[in-house]
Amino acid sequence: MELLIITAVRSFTEDIKQILKSSGVKVYSTLDVTGYKDLSDLTIDANWFGSDSGEHLSVLFYAFIEERYVTGVLKEIEALNETQETYSYVHAAVIDIKKHV
């Protein structure tokens, strides 16, 4: 059993749902979250947001999945990220669950 965690800005929500569906992940949960990025080191010209706190409306997906689904999900996320021309990407992590009830 694995815990799959995916985070991204909300505009990727439908893309992530499609990735999960096409990879065979049928049960998952989502949470709306606010992501933060410290932009204080950027110059005014390089700072898209014009302030020191880069606050982003984001989404978090999580699912307990069998190991056989992990590779497919990660490959599809990598493929999606390769096509993006934005500063933001979909991030995923997989945590091995040793025991569960």
Question: pLDDT tens digits for 67-100?
Answer: 999 999 999 999 999 998 877 899 999 999 999 8
- Domain 2-96 in this protein, CATH class: alpha beta
Is pLDDT larger for residue 82 or for residue 35? 82
Burial track 12-47 (b if 16+ CB lie within 10 A, e otherwise): beebbeebbeebebeebeeeeeebeeebeeeeeeee
- What's the order of all strands across the beta sheet hosting 53-65? 29-38, 53-65, 2-9, 91-96
Q: Where are the domains of the chain?
A: 2-96
Contact 16, 6 (CB under 8 A): yes
pLDDT in the model for residue 39? 62
Residue 32 has pLDDT above 90, yes or no: yes
